[in-house]
Amino acid sequence: MVISESRPFLRADGPDKVTGSGRYVADISLTGMAAAKFKYAGMAHGRITKLDLEAARSIPGVYAVLTHKDVPDVRFGAIPDRKLFASDVVRFEGEVVAAVAAIDAATAARAVEAIVVEYEPLPIVDDLEAALDENSPLVHESWADYDADHVVRDRNVASFSSIERGDVEAGMAEADLVVTSRFEADASHAVPIEPRGILAQWEGDRVTIWSSTQVPFQARAGVCETLGLATNKVRIIVPHLGGGFGGKCGFHFEAHVAALARAVRRPVKLVFTREEEFVAPDRRREGMTIDVTSGIRRDGTLVARRGRMLLDNGAYTADADFFPQLAAMHLAGPYKIPNVLIESSLVYTNRQPSGSVRAPTAPQACWALEAHTDELADAVGMDPVAFRRLNAIDSGSVGVVGQTYGEIGLQQCINAAVEEIEYGSDLPPDEAVGVAIGWWPSFPGPSGVYIKIDDDGAGQIITGAQECGTGAVMTIPHIVADELGMQPGDFELIYQDTGAAPYDVGATGSQTLLNNGRAALAGARELARQLKELAAEHLEASTEDIVLQSGEASVVGSPASSVSIVELAAIAADNNLLLAHGSSEVIETPPLVGSTCVGDQGVAAWSAPQFSCHAVRVRLDRDTGVVRVLEVSTAHDSGTIINPLGATGQVEGGVLMGIGQALTEGTRYDEDGRQLNAGLLEYKLQTIADAPTIATRFIEIDTPDAGPHGAKGLAEAPNVATAGAIANAIAKLVGHPIRRLPMTAERVWETL
């Protein structure tokens, strides 16, 4: 089933967004509303010796100033290592020390400036290697008291994972050549166009929170946990969301604003400045140090791989506890390797916490691995594409954790991407083409929808899924309509409200179509059963002979014997409502076979993995080190493509984001652990003027036990291989890899 490109695909949220009439959190005002501002630590590591609020509280128009004393003493996070307010020690510059509610934002800002905080400076931990030393200061002195039995940890290692298969030492001894590479990746940011906003209002003992979150149900759970509230006392509503890219996943600031609103007994709104959006959230792309060694035979066959990865966790864990295992899988890559040992550590530092930015860990790990892969090909004198064709997994291959893959399209992706870009053709001396392959897991999970058809034949779909701009939720009416023989425009879509909709994990992990799409399909099929039974009774026919199409229920072979769905809805209104719900049965994760995973977090074997190959043509200015991406050819196996136009848009957006990560986007720090480029003037994003020609091909394989009609996810996969392909093109022009990400003009020029 494909939503045809010839049929108009009018997104339900499209008109409001393009006309400017749509409301975001910042646009919402309530009577008597106060403005919120936070007092941040402003330093990387220190013990609070003085906290004086009197001057701030005495400013006219200041309603309340809250600290850790005004909220429950609760730790939260994937590893519960954080509280809403710093109570003793601050561990990164953006940690919240106090929160102010005032008559307006200017007054709140003055109050924040009037808060006096003094610190005893503590040693800053900002080097990943040094943090592992037994004599290193601890970012969390009391880490052993945190309730985190699900992870392997030690001192500044928040979480550890390893993947082992075969005998890596024997494999290295068997190899004809052994190649070792080292890479470092800077941290980077999601940078959604809309800075986050939160508005809270209490009615009695219940709070409604409007939040620009990608995961409203997770936000609700966090508010309940930290403020000691029952689930039915908290409602999260998401107005239009101005992008997220993972940076608005998880929970944090909703509870601060809710606590302020309860204290001042009026609505309170917080809207971040652009600088706050860089510094305060606990979701940034993690920095990495990556060591990888591979053993190969002279014919190019991979026989062994050893890897060591250090991930910069930052000061708190957010949702990154499983990232070491995820990163290890990306360093193994979609290759056939009989002997593997990869060890990966998530390391505490006094920097901003890391988290689920689009395809977490994957672009950095893939960048390093694919640069290393070109080095391997060069070591045996093979063409890099031929080397990948030889070693990449295919249908029936056994992966690094013993998982046997069904029908997959990675080899077809390689062929399609290099064909489109005319790989191997003559190029000017300042141009080159690089190729990289990547993969990304699917994340099965529970999700639900309600579907009803009213007495006038108009339908409603109520879903807990979250729309962050990908269009995944906007595809749900098309799935339902196709199953019921109706038009997508026949359905009103109601979403982004925990008080009205069934559970969904949110816009994270490319899971919306996978899970909510399956739930929608199940609900639509239940509603189709009801319609067919009603039509069969009305037409005096067998239920099995009824088909739904073109807005009618008709008898097979007797098109004249039909009744419109509008008529059936009117009939049902008299005695039986057309109402259904659907939920997605969680897909089972394949077992590990013949492999060992220390610190297993359940992401070693992948359900319905996605595969991709990106080929990129670049031009290098040798005088300046400036690299310009001219052309990108992509091929993706994301299962059945439900909406080709939307899928193509996701690939194009992911590629452009990947170009930024490859060439310009990286966080810089001063010696005191503060960000130097926390603004759009200094943090260089790609713009439409930087966009190259992007060609996209889909290798469509109906994938059983995946999403609706064999679909898989797509939003994160295009972000995985882009930087690696650019790196390999640059390496051809420079002579060897640039070993630090981003590959800025300065770094390229210094290498030259």
Q: Which pLDDT tens digit goes with each residue over 518-543?
A: 999 999 999 999 999 999 999 999 99
C-alpha torsion sign, points 559, 476, 590, 333: positive
CATH number, residue 548: 3.30.365.10
Query: ∠ CA 133-138-142 to the nearest 5 degrees?
Result: 135
Say if CB 731 and CB 738 are below 8 A apart: yes
Tell me, yes or no, whether 335 lies in a domain. no
Domain ends where: 271, 292, 318? 271
Residues 455, 436, single domain; the answer is no
Residues 575, 545, single domain; the answer is yes
How far, CA to CA in Å, does 431 sit from each of 367, 557, 629? 20, 62, 10
At 8 the pLDDT is 52
Hey, what amino acid is at 172?
Answer: M
Q: What is the mean pLDDT of the chain?
A: 95
At 700 the pLDDT is 97
Among 637, 592, 610, 607, which Cα is nearest to 340's? 592
Residue 17 pLDDT exceeds 80 = yes
Classify the phi-psi angles of 692: left when phi > 0, otherwise alpha if psi is within -120 to 50, otherwise beta.
beta
Say if CB 111 and CB 260 are below 8 A apart: no
Tell me, yes or no, whether 132 lies in a domain. no
Say if CB 647 and CB 513 are below 8 A apart: no
Query: What are the tokens at 122?
Result: 């503590």
Alpha helices by DSSP H, 211-318? 216-227, 253-264, 274-279
Average pLDDT over residues 604-614: 95
Count of H-run helices and E-run strands, the chain = 18, 29
Instruction: Say how far apart CA 332 and CA 340 lie, in whole Å.
Output: 8
Residues 253, 110, single domain; the answer is yes
Residues 6+ away with beta carbon under 8 Å from 390: 300, 301, 382
Tell me, yes or no, whether 276 lies in a domain. no
Tell me, yes or no, whether 8 lies in a domain. no
Residue 576 pLDDT exceeds 90 = no
CB atoms inside a 10 Å sphere around CB 180? 11
Domain enclosing residue 729, as ranges? 350-442+606-751
Alpha helices by DSSP H, 507-577? 517-539, 565-575
**Helix axis angle, 410-420 relative to 384-391, nearest 10°?**
160
CB atoms inside a 10 Å sphere around CB 714? 30
Average pLDDT over residues 346-352: 98
How far, CA to CA in Å, does 724 sit from each of 310, 361, 430? 19, 13, 19
Residues 6+ away with beta carbon under 8 Å from 600: 161, 325, 592
Residue 4 pLDDT exceeds 50 = no
Instruction: Say how far apart CA 677 and CA 124 lie, in whole Å.
Output: 19
**pLDDT digit string, tens, across residues 157-204:** 999 999 999 999 999 999 999 999 999 999 999 999 999 999 999 999
Instruction: Say how far apart CA 32 and CA 726 lie, in whole Å.
Output: 53
- Containing 130, the helix (H) or strand (E) segment is helix 128-131
At 3 the pLDDT is 54
Residues 742, 634, single domain; the answer is yes
At 6 the pLDDT is 42
Tell me, yes or no, whether 244 lies in a domain. yes
- Containing 222, the helix (H) or strand (E) segment is helix 216-227
Instruction: Say how far apart CA 423 and CA 429 lie, in whole Å.
Output: 15
Residues 372, 457, single domain; the answer is no
Which residue's structure tokens are 């971040």?
A: 272
Average pLDDT over residues 550-571: 92
Residues 432, 488, single domain; the answer is no
Exposed e or buried b for every residue in 431-454, given b needs 16+ CB within 10 A? bbbbbbbbbbbbbbbbbbbbbbbb
Tell me, yes or no, whether 590 lies in a domain. no
Instruction: Say how far apart CA 1 and CA 103 lie, in whole Å.
Output: 54
**pLDDT digit string, tens, across residues 130-166:** 999 999 999 999 999 999 999 999 999 999 999 999 9
The tally of domains found in the chain comes to: 3
Could you say which DSSP state residue 132 is in? T
Residues 416, 267, single domain; the answer is no
Tell me, yes or no, whether 10 lies in a domain. no
Q: What percent of the chain has pLDDT over 70?
A: 99
Residues 211, 65, single domain; the answer is yes
Residues 708, 626, single domain; the answer is yes
CB atoms inside a 10 Å sphere around CB 265? 11
CATH number, residue 234: 3.90.1170.50
Residue 5 pLDDT exceeds 80 = no
**Helix axis angle, 517-539 relative to 565-575, nearest 10°?**
80
Instruction: Say how far apart CA 252 and CA 488 lie, in whole Å.
Output: 36
C-alpha 110: how far from its chain's center?
Answer: 36
Domain ends where: 271, 299, 325? 271
At 469 the pLDDT is 86
Instruction: Say how far apart CA 447 and CA 642 lie, in whole Å.
Output: 19
Hey, what amino acid is at 438?
Answer: G
Say if CB 257 and CB 209 are below 8 A apart: yes
At 58 the pLDDT is 98
Which residue's structure tokens are 């009695």?
A: 204
At 2 the pLDDT is 52
Tell me, yes or no, whether 638 lies in a domain. yes
Residues 618, 709, single domain; the answer is yes
Domain ends where: 534, 550, 583? 583
Say if CB 41 and CB 108 are below 8 A apart: no
Q: Is 111 exposed, middle or buried (0-12, 13-18, 19+ CB in 10 A)?
A: buried
Instruction: Say how far apart CA 111 and CA 57 lie, in whole Å.
Output: 7
Among 481, 477, 460, 485, which Cα is nearest to 564's? 485
C-alpha torsion sign, points 325, 331, 336, 338: negative
CA atoms within 13 A on the CB side of 596: 8
Residues 262, 117, single domain; the answer is yes
**pLDDT digit string, tens, across residues 287-337:** 999 999 999 999 999 999 999 999 999 999 999 999 999 999 999 999 999
Residues 619, 556, single domain; the answer is no
Among 80, 152, 103, 93, which Cα is nearest to 126's? 93
CA atoms within 13 A on the CB side of 266: 17
Residue 9 pLDDT exceeds 90 = no
